Structure 1
Amino acid sequence: MSKKIGVIGSGFIAEGLAKLLHDSPKYTLTKVLTRTDTKERTDYFMPEYLTNDLEELIESSDLIVESSGDTIYAADTINRIFEAGIPVVTMNAEFQATVGSYFVDKGLLTEAEGDQPGVLAMLHEEVTTMGFKPLVYGNIKGFLNHTPTLEDMTYWGNRSGISLDMVTSFTDGTKVQIEQTLVANGLGATIAQDDLLGPAYDDTLTGGIELAKKAKEIGAPISDYLISPTLKPGVFIAAEINDNQHAALRYYKMGEGPYYVLERPYHLCHFEILRTIDRVLNGGGVLLNNSENPTISTTTITKRDLKAGESIKKGIGSFDVRGIAVKIKEHPNHVPIGLMFNATLKRDVPAGTELTFDDVELPDSLALEAWKSIKEKALKS
């Protein structure tokens, strides 16, 4: 009997997954939870799957995939799903890197393969099984502009078929900072500096080795990225291995060492979520989460001068703020950008400033309470 899979989200990635599940002989697509008006979603491939009722989704599903990209909403829905005892697979690094740690002991929660964090976790399993010791968990970023214009982002969003806030968060670097926050916490790494290093290299070998040298200086694995307009949008791990394997790796054309770069030159988002669904339902457990004791967060930096009384509807993908990775202990009062929903400025804040809880007022939410719990634990550790 096929397993019943529900989906939360009806955007680009979530709809792509729903189509795969609909066509799969192994799984049955049950319902797709959306916050949009189901009667007006004539654009959706099969509108009859859409529902606004979380309970209907829960009652019909053996496993649920959350892909809303919304921290506040995901916290509320996943909390209720765990009360019902159902496992959750996410493609929502925004949720995971902000408050995912609060939920790791409340049910089976794992990030999926497909986006860079999940693919790095899969590659981590592969290379450590072979005896490599990771020094760098690397993402690849093709382009970066901290303050893109609305005109440019509207053009690229329409051209790519993705939402304005999503394309903006890709362009201003928020997305890669969030992803590498999750990778650092989930795979036991740290960061080399606030905002990451992000050096420009057009080959992963040279760039990966340079980052590996930095990790050795620090004395711990690091989570970071390379900027290159020519590299494929994949991931890589720079690692070392015992000296007695260097000759074999030279024979296998992996270079002279002592650092080696193993890469996965693609990630296919919703296509790969099926592998993580298989993993969970076959008893494979968690691929990647934000860990119970995170040390890294993604803080909020202003892109422009903000005035007291201004409201920011959503921080991630906005033209008001962007996110950068930081160490929690070094930024104890920062506001994670994943919590920046319907935020009101308490006072004037100039461009380029990190927002703290003294600067903004946030509505009450489970996600906010979860962050307070995470922060208190992190600062005591």
Structure 2
Amino acid sequence: MWGLNEKLAALERSGQKIQASIVGAGQMGRGMVSQMMLMKGMSPAIVVDINPELAKTAYLHAGLKEDDIRFVKTVAEANTWMEQGKYIYTDNADIAAKANLIQVAIDATGVPEVGAKFAVDSINHKKHIVMLNVETDVVIGPYLKQLADNAGVVYTGSAGDEPGAVKELYDFADALGFEVRVIGKGKNNALDLDCNPDSLYEYATARGVSPKMQTAFSDGTKTMVEMTAMANATGFIPDVRGGHGAVATVKELPELFRLKEEGGILNQYGVIDYINGVAPGVFLIVSTSLPDVVHEMQYLSMGPGPNYVLYRPYHLTSLETPLSAALAVIDHQPTIVPSFGLVAETIAVAKKDLKAGDMLDGIGGFTVYGTFEKADVAKQLGAVPLGLINKNTKLLKDVKKGELVTYDMIELDQNSLIVQLRKLQDRFFL
């Protein structure tokens, strides 16, 4: 993204701004609106939430006045007010995908079904689409990328989210010619496979996070989804199902992430994992065989080798998302996409003993959580991608706690768009 600040400043000087729409005015969406208001050459022109008061609040917290904003119900209304320089808020996501002046649409919902519809609608209306919704991407990202390519627009994941942050680090190391051996991220809360929105209610609300979102973090699902996106963007794979999830400091990572025969924990290189104790942030384990490079790495206090850690100690989540929107519009480039197709999957595991006839729920719920597995293994097992499961998914068989949920165990919601798009993807892309 070198030089992006100068390109945005040039837009501002010319009297232009990139017109962006944002769906989802929760914690991430609100932060994004405020950050975008600070930027040159960018405007959060439309904000959408099922609770429109949250969308309005996002604008007010960003410093706008009541007279600057308008609530609308239709695309026509949005077009009229935008032409008069007003900011739009609404509960209708169609407006964010279809309004005439919008150049780039951003999904900050984290809901697979919502992300599927919004991405398709945005692409079909020739908007670039930024997915701060990795939950959708890891299920139908290859399909959405192809749809966007065909439409001549950019489909991309987000800067600031851990997959986007680690992809920038990976691109840096790969461009320099280092051998990238491991891609990783930190986890900043203890893994609790039994948690649910009720058990985490007080903790989540005290932090200003929805209990459902906190559950997805605490039961590990969010980490698994993020590692799946990293895999599909780089071709790296899980070393073991779910990752090792070891405990270490940054300085310990080069020794830890060696092959078992070298005294480490790995079965192979070219893998993705997570670490407890290195958070927030993302990292790579890199190596080189050339003596002069080794000498300089040692001179630069990078350690004795042969493995070295490159560590970025922060990722600013939705505050960085506008950079991906700008990159898409100005340079027609993505931040992170599933370039390798489905290398990995986030598959569903029963959170408790379940009975035939029970209805499942999905990410951040009471019945299932996600784990990280190679896509070919998941396919052989018939394991169900977690993002396909919703509250209308019915169990056909008893399932024990900790057991993988397979296609023959459930009846998927055939009215779900993401279910239907996944069928197309499986048919034409795999």
TM-score (norm 1): 0.92
Contact 2:47-2:55 at 8 Å conserved across structures: no
The 1:153/1:116 distance shift into structure 2, 3 A limit, reads same
Distance in 1 of aligned mates of 2:127 and 2:198: 42
Distance in 1 of aligned mates of 2:365 and 2:120: 27
What is the deviation of 1:347?
Answer: 2.1
What is the deviation of 1:300?
Answer: 0.4
What is the deviation of 1:213?
Answer: 2.8
Contact 2:239-2:266 at 8 Å conserved across structures: no
Opposite residue 79 of structure 1, the aligned amino acid is V
- Correspondence 1:110 to 2:132: no
Partner residue of 2:326 out of 278, 281, 289:
278
Opposite residue 232 of structure 2, the aligned amino acid is N
Match of 1:358, SS state, is helix
Following superposition of structure 1 onto structure 2, how do residues 60-75 of structure 1 map, counting pairs within 5 Å?
A: 60-75=101-116
Cross-structure match for 1:335: 384
The 1:296/1:376 distance shift into structure 2, 3 A limit, reads farther
Opposite residue 354 of structure 2, the aligned amino acid is L
Partner residue of 1:2 out of 17, 20, 28:
17
Distance in 1 of aligned mates of 2:165 and 2:193: 25
- RMSD value over aligned CA atoms? 2.2
- Correspondence 1:366 to 2:388: no
Contact 1:136-1:208 at 8 Å conserved across structures: no
What is the deviation of 1:205?
Answer: 3.0
Opposite residue 138 of structure 1, the aligned amino acid is G
Opposite residue 232 of structure 1, the aligned amino acid is A
What is the deviation of 1:45?
Answer: 4.4
Greater alpha carbon shift after TM alignment, 321-330 vs 21-30: 21-30
Opposite residue 72 of structure 1, the aligned amino acid is E
Opposite residue 397 of structure 2, the aligned amino acid is R
Cross-structure match for 2:274: 225
The 1:306/1:223 distance shift into structure 2, 3 A limit, reads same
Deviations 1:310-343 (A, max 9, x none): 2123x11112111001122222211111111121
Opposite residue 52 of structure 1, the aligned amino acid is D
- Correspondence 1:189 to 2:236: yes
Cross-structure match for 1:265: 313
Distance in 1 of aligned mates of 2:258 and 2:313: 19
Following superposition of structure 1 onto structure 2, how do residues 1-381 of structure 1 map, counting pairs within 5 Å?
A: 1-36=16-51, 38=52, 44-46=58-60, 48=70, 49-57=88-96, 58-59=98-99, 60-107=101-148, 108-142=154-188, 143-148=190-195, 150-201=197-248, 203-213=249-259, 218-228=267-277, 231-244=278-291, 245-283=293-331, 285-291=333-339, 293-313=341-361, 315-332=362-379, 333-342=382-391, 343-364=393-414, 365-376=416-427
Opposite residue 28 of structure 1, the aligned amino acid is S
Distance in 1 of aligned mates of 2:23 and 2:339: 23
The 1:41/1:179 distance shift into structure 2, 3 A limit, reads closer
Distance in 1 of aligned mates of 2:234 and 2:353: 36
Distance in 2 of aligned mates of 1:323 and 1:352: 11
Distance in 2 of aligned mates of 1:82 and 1:119: 24
What is the deviation of 1:150?
Answer: 4.6
Match of 2:408, SS state, is coil
Distance in 2 of aligned mates of 1:359 and 1:16: 40
Contact 1:301-1:355 at 8 Å conserved across structures: yes
Distance in 2 of aligned mates of 1:150 and 1:274: 30
Opposite residue 102 of structure 2, the aligned amino acid is S
Opposite residue 339 of structure 2, the aligned amino acid is S
Distance in 1 of aligned mates of 2:334 and 2:197: 38
Deviations 1:188-207 (A, max 9, x none): 10110111111111x12323
Greater alpha carbon shift after TM alignment, 124-133 vs 318-327: 124-133
Alignment size in residue pairs? 374
Contact 1:212-1:239 at 8 Å conserved across structures: no
Deviations 1:132-174 (A, max 9, x none): 1211111111321111255541122112111111101111111
Deviations 1:349-368 (A, max 9, x none): 11111111111112122311
Distance in 1 of aligned mates of 2:92 and 2:368: 32
Contact 1:185-1:296 at 8 Å conserved across structures: yes
Match of 2:347, SS state, is strand
What is the deviation of 1:178?
Answer: 0.7
Deviations 1:181-223 (A, max 9, x none): 110111110110111111111x123234322436996554111
Match of 1:312, SS state, is coil
Distance in 1 of aligned mates of 2:420 and 2:340: 16
Opposite residue 178 of structure 2, the aligned amino acid is F
Contact 1:114-1:269 at 8 Å conserved across structures: yes
Opposite residue 275 of structure 2, the aligned amino acid is L
Distance in 2 of aligned mates of 1:224 and 1:31: 37
Match of 1:341, SS state, is coil
